[in-house]
Amino acid sequence: MANVKQGKALNIQDSRILIAGAASLVGSHTADLLLKEGAREVLLLDNFSFGSMEAIAHLQNDPRVKIVRADLMRLPELLDATKGVDGVVHLAAYMTLGFSQTPWQAVDVNIRGAQNMLEACRVNQVKKFIFASSNAVYGYGTGIKGALHEETPFYSVGAPPAAILYGASKIMGEQLCRHYHQSAGQDYVVLRYSTVYGERQHYRAANSLYIMETYDLVRKGLAPVLPGDGTDTKHFVHVSDVARANVAALKSAATDVAVNVSGPAPITTGELVQLVLEYCKSSLKPEIRPDPPGKVRLTSGGAFHIPHDKAGEVIGWKPIVPMKEGVARLLAWLEEQHKKIK
C-alpha cells in the first residue's frame, strides 16, 4: 500500500449506495452483493435507455432497494438522487458499439455524464466515488503486447475509431475524477475492467457477445466462426468478480488511484471457442472467416495480459472465477433464457 493515498472507507452496513447504470450486467450483480453484505439502502439509478428492468426485477421487493429514474445529462436529477448518499458506483456509459453507432451521444454521456455525477457528489458531499473504467485506456491494435500495467500508455495505431473514442472517453472520465479529488477532495477509486461477461449478459459488448454468438451457432449444428487464426488474445473477468471489486473499492480507504480488474488469466479466441464446444459436447471444427467490413470486434493482434496485482495491494481484491467455470455459468444461464422464450 506504499504511495497510495488514504481517504474515506465505507462501512457497507451503515451506508446508502447509489449505482448509476444499475439496470445492467454489472449493476445488478453489484446490487446483489451490496444487499448480501447488509447495505442500509441501495439506489438503482438508470434512465432505462439501455438498461433493462428485467435485470433488476428480482430486487424490486427488497425494502432496502429504491429504483431511481434519472438521466446523467440532467444535473438537477443527479443532485436530487445523491442527497444523503454515502457512496456512488458510476457504471453508466456507452460502450464501443455505441461509439460506432451514435458517437455524439456516446461522447456526451461518457464525459459530460461523468462530470455531472461528480459534480452532484461534490455538492452533496458523497464520501466515495467508484468509477468504472476499462482496459480500453491502454488502447488497441497490434502494438498491444505483454503486460498492460496501470502505467501503460494509450496506443491507438490502426485501431477502429469507435474503439479509440471509447478508450479516450474513459481516460477523460478518470481525469475528471482526479480533478475533483484535487479541487474538491472527492475520494475515488478507478477500476479498469477487462471484458466483463456472465449471467444477465447484455448484447452491447462486442467481445462478450462473441461467446453467445459462438454458442448459438454450435447449438444450431453450425461451425463456430473464428475471425482470425484463433491466436488473438482476450482478457475477460466474470461479473461476480467485478461486483466484488466494486464493493471492495467502496470498503477500502484507498483514494486517488486506478487499478486493473481482470480475470485470472487471458485466453485466445481459439481457446474460447473450444470451451464453448466442450460445454456443448460438440465435435464441430471452427471455421476461419474474417469479419465483414464495419464489424466492431476488438482484437489485440498479439499476446497480452492485464495484471491485477495492484488491485490486491490497494483494495484487497483478486479474481476467483476461472474462464472455464465462468463460460459454463454464462451458457447455463443462456439456456434458461431460451427455455423461458419457448
> Which tens digit of pLDDT belongs to each residue from 223-248?
999 887 888 888 999 999 999 999 99
Instruction: Please give the share of the chain, as a percent, with pLDDT higher than 90.
Output: 74
Indicate the range of 23-37, 119-133, 140-154 predicted with least confidence: 140-154
Q: Give which of 142, 145, 136 is closest to 304, Cα–Cα.
A: 145
For the cut 70, the answer to whether the pLDDT of residue 168 exceeds it is yes
Residue 150's pLDDT is 96
Q: Predicted confidence band at 49 (pLDDT cuts at 50, 70, 90)?
A: confident
Q: Predicted confidence band at 205 (pLDDT cuts at 50, 70, 90)?
A: low
Residue 12's pLDDT is 98
Domains of the chain: 5-201+237-263+305-321 (3.40.50.720)
Q: Give which of 245, 251, 252, 247 is closest to 308, Cα–Cα.
A: 245
For the cut 50, the answer to whether the pLDDT of residue 331 exceeds it is yes
Q: Predicted confidence band at 160 (pLDDT cuts at 50, 70, 90)?
A: confident
Q: What's the pTM value of the predicted model, to 2 decimals?
A: 0.94
Q: Predicted confidence band at 96 (pLDDT cuts at 50, 70, 90)?
A: confident
Residue 293's pLDDT is 58
Interval 285-308: pLDDT, tens = 999 877 665 555 545 456 788 999
β-pairing, 304-305 vs 146-147, is parallel
| Cα 28 → chain centroid | 12
Interval 117-134: pLDDT, tens = 999 999 999 999 999 999
Residue 298's pLDDT is 47
Mean pLDDT of the chain: 91
